[in-house]
Amino acid sequence: MALRIVANRPDPALLRLPWSEPLEQWPDDLVVPLPRGLSRHVVRIVRLGRSTYAIKETVEDIAFREYRLLRDLHRLDLPAVVPQGVVTGRVGGDGEDLPAALLTEHLQFSLPYRSLFSHGVTAESLPSLIDALVVLLVRLHLADFYWGDVSLSNVLFRRDAGGFAAYLVDAETGELRPSLSPQLREHDVTIATENVYAELLDLQASRLAPTEIPPKDIVELLQRRYDELWTELTGVEEFSLDEMWRIEQRVARLNDLGFDVEELEIVTDFDGDRVRIQPKAVELGHHRRELRALTGLDVEDAQAQRLLNDIASYVAHHDLGREDRVLVATRWLAEVFEPLMAMVPDHARGKLEPAEIFHEVLVHRWYLSERAGHEVDLFETAHDYIDTVLAGKPDEAVTPHSATAVPDPPE
């Protein structure tokens, strides 16, 4: 059988990989030493020139199904890894057929949950991890996606202004449906609580997770946060005509959560004395879209909110309230954000995303200012943060300093 590669953006370098060998036997000089999550399948991360791929061995039919489903999720702008292709027709040196391989784009600055705990996730930050999983699950359910295997193992996490953003990494059991019933939603949540409970017990047995929070409390938190967020995003609210301000209040609450309301259903009763409202279409990314429109920066939503707040402080400090917002944001970018990022040495650029570094510098300034009894200069703070905090952090991105790359072919 001939080797066959189906890809939406074919990379000729893929042909140079040793597809005739089982993935678990690929040599170390091909495999990037990045942390991987637990998986039922053999998974390896490989760098080809400037591209980095996660490769998973699986059954051919399942590989193509997951590839197409991930493409659908990508078109819907949902948080999931980006599919790159499927490799079939693999034959080993002994003439035996080898499994098909699913290729996805490696998500930069992302970590599996076990690595996050190895990097020092504390009891205080554990609820933020659960919140990220809940937001991901709610977003998928709003798009009528049934996951079928919700777990920390099937997610990659990126840091987001001190919290986390979650991305679906395994859609093997998933299904996009014309509509998602409440029963299937609840089944997904039940699966989530059972899997997370078992995963936390395993982490505690491995001495990676904090033991002061019982897993039972965390899964109860997961259920409660899911119910609260789903109700806020989709629940019906009824009030009198004298309380029409509650429409704007509902929209503002959703904006504060990072969601935009794309469609709101408003219904009055027969006499027109009572009003019922229900969001019909909501989308996460309110702050992210606003920041991108102002500056061109594309970051996670909580990071965007933090940067927008700093722009607002910059406006107040320089008395620029009457100036055009785009012009002011461009000035902030040139005078604050970009100079601060230029201070980060090359060898430290793979440790955190720029927006996360900026967030941590702001937090660091608060501590330094409290200790000094006055506000410390931002760039003075950045110098101290880079030397005393950032330097000790592990790399969380694939960089030329942290990975062995398959060389580009000579031109």
CA 227, 229, 234, 238 torsion-angle sign: positive
Per-residue pLDDT tens for 274-312? Answer: 888 889 888 888 999 999 999 999 999 999 999 999 999
> With bands split at pLDDT 50, 70 and 90, how would you rate the model's confidence at 38?
low
Tell me the backbone φ, ψ of residue 87, rounded to 5 degrees: -115, 125
Average pLDDT score over residue span 385-393: 94
- Alpha helices by DSSP H, 10-59: none
> With bands split at pLDDT 50, 70 and 90, how would you rate the model's confidence at 14?
confident
Pairing of strands 83-88, 4-7: antiparallel
Please tell me the pTM assigned to this model: 0.86
pLDDT at 12 over 60: yes
Per-residue pLDDT tens for 100-119? Answer: 999 999 998 998 988 888 77
Average pLDDT score over residue span 145-169: 94
| 297: alpha, beta or left? (left if phi > 0; alpha if psi -120 to 50) | beta
pLDDT at 408 over 80: no
Measured CA distances, 47 to 41, 169, 395, 401 (Å): 19, 18, 16, 13
Q: Which two tokens mark 249?
A: 């209040």
pLDDT of amino acid 262 = 83
Average pLDDT score over residue span 370-379: 94
pLDDT at 40 over 90: no
pLDDT at 35 over 60: no
Residues in the chain: 411
Per-residue pLDDT tens for 319-354? Answer: 998 999 999 999 999 999 999 999 999 999 999 999
pLDDT at 228 over 50: yes
pLDDT at 9 over 90: no
Q: Which two tokens mark 32?
A: 């990037």
Query: Nearest-CA neighbor of 88 among 69, 66, 61, 65?
Result: 61
Q: Choose between 176 and 111: higher pLDDT.
A: 176
- Could you name the CATH architecture of 4-106? 2-Layer Sandwich (3.30)
pLDDT of amino acid 407 = 41
109 within 8 A of 352, measured Cβ to Cβ: yes
Strand partners, 51: 48
- Could you name the CATH architecture of 111-234? Orthogonal Bundle (1.10)
> With bands split at pLDDT 50, 70 and 90, how would you rate the model's confidence at 7?
confident
Write down the domain spans for the chain. 4-106, 111-234, 237-284, 299-392
pLDDT at 406 over 50: no
Average pLDDT score over residue span 147-162: 94
Q: Mean pLDDT in the chain?
A: 89
Tell me the backbone φ, ψ of residue 201, rounded to 5 degrees: -60, -40
Rounded CA gap, 358 and 168, in Å? 26
pLDDT of amino acid 211 = 74
pLDDT of amino acid 401 = 42
> With bands split at pLDDT 50, 70 and 90, how would you rate the model's confidence at 34?
low
pLDDT at 158 over 90: yes
**Sole residue written with tokens 């001939």:** 2
pLDDT at 400 over 60: no
361 within 8 A of 381, measured Cβ to Cβ: yes
CB burial class (10 A; 0-12, 13-18, 19+) of residue 210? middle
Q: Which two tokens mark 110?
A: 């992302």
> Which letter does DSSP use for residue 268 in this model?
E
H/E run at residue 283: strand 274-284
Rounded CA gap, 15 and 4, in Å? 10
pLDDT of amino acid 405 = 40
In three-state form (DSSP H/G/I as H, E/B as E, the rest C), the secondary structure along 308-359 is HHHHHHHHHHCCCCCCCHHHHHHHHHHHHHHHHHHCCCHHHCCCCCHHHHHH
pLDDT of amino acid 292 = 95
Average pLDDT score over residue span 243-258: 88
Q: Choose between 270 and 373: higher pLDDT.
A: 373
| 120: alpha, beta or left? (left if phi > 0; alpha if psi -120 to 50) | left
